[in-house]
Amino acid sequence: MRMIESFTQLLHQKTKRKGMKTAAIVADLLNISEDAAYRRIRNPESLRAVELVVLAKEFNIDLNTLINLGNNWFQGEFKKFNNDYTIPLFFKELQGELEKCIDRPNSFISYGAKEIPLFYYFWFPALAAFKNFVWQRDFLNNPELRNQNFQSKHFQLDSKFQRIADLYLQIPSEEIWSYETLFSTLYQIKHYQECGLFANENEYHAVMDEYDMLIDHIHEQASIGKKLHPIQSYIRGADFKLYFTPLINNDNTIIFKTVRENVAWVVSQMSGIMQSDCAHWVDASNNWLETCKQNGTLLSISGNGPRNKFLRQEYNAKKRMIHLD
């Protein structure tokens, strides 16, 4: 029996034991209609990699125990953010993948962004500190931060990790953004402002100003189709493509494509990171990003109208709507 068939059989068994209707619980967990859930159950190969992980986590199905049932499916590693797998360790692993891309010719990165790719934050210290604080306080539930207001000086990222941004600058990439990618940080800033979680107005304005600068930076990169250094403006990096998609990414998907191997990461801010170089995992992740592109719009170079609409008009309209202008 192939692994994917064994997975769906286990899923049926576990939902039946709990007195659940399989299609209904799959629809609820994956945020899809019951009709779409039925189609996935009847044709389990249509399940995307990230959907498999969601279902496996919910029903405590160890995907690694199924790998001997077929030679064409899955082997990977899930790492939960905790005291053992910390943010610095995550950054160190990310740097390692980027260095492999640099060392191997014709490497390429595809990034399906639930939030703006974190590579950029290292160039904007107040914004980076804010995102670090939000990540630890609200997503990782650090109890020490529950009653603490944000001050950037206490949450600066280690300067050694700026090399991550410098490496990413050198690797040809495509990024697929949605409205959530662009707006989620605005809503975080608004929430912290309304709740009085900025230590003072200067902290708020520093974060807001740097976020505006970052969006301007992305707009400029997309307009010329090249990565740029926001501080050293004379530096031009690798080729850059930006897409807008109306589809929603459940998590951040990063695919590192090199001459030796392709590796896909699915990064959840709340739980951790799933990593695998398994062909089916990579293909499923890549197919989802291709679907997002096919249903979206290219914003780079020739996409001047859609680019201005998304990164200028709709961005500024959202700021006005939530009173951040």
Q: If pLDDT is split at 50, 70 and 90, which confidence band does 5 have?
A: low
pLDDT for 1 equals 42
Q: CB-side exposure of 94: number of CA atoms within 13 Å?
A: 26
Q: Give this prediction's pTM.
A: 0.78
pLDDT for 2 equals 53
Rounded distance between C-alpha atoms, residue 317 and residue 319, angstroms: 5
Residue 265, classed as helix, strand or coil, is strand
pLDDT of 71 over the 50 cut: no
DSSP code, position 157: P
Q: What is the pLDDT of residues 75-126, one digit of tens each?
A: 677 888 887 888 889 999 999 999 999 999 999 999 999 999 999 999 999 9
Burial profile 172-197: b = 16 or more Cβ within 10 angstroms, e = fewer: bbbbbbbeebbbebbebbbebbeeeb
**How many residues are given for the chain?**
325
Q: Kindly state the greatest CA–CA separation across the chain.
A: 63
pLDDT for 214 equals 98
Residues with Cβ < 8 Å from 186, sequence gap 6 or more? 211, 318, 319, 322, 324
pLDDT for 159 equals 79
Contact at 8 Å (CB) between 41 and 22?
A: yes
Q: What is the pLDDT of residues 260-285, one digit of tens each?
A: 889 999 998 667 898 888 888 898 89
Residue scoring higher pLDDT (238 or 61): 238
Contact at 8 Å (CB) between 223 and 230?
A: no
**Beta partners for residue 297, in sequence order:** 244
- How many Cβ atoms from other residues are within 10 Å of residue 24's Cβ? 12
Residue 214, classed as helix, strand or coil, is helix
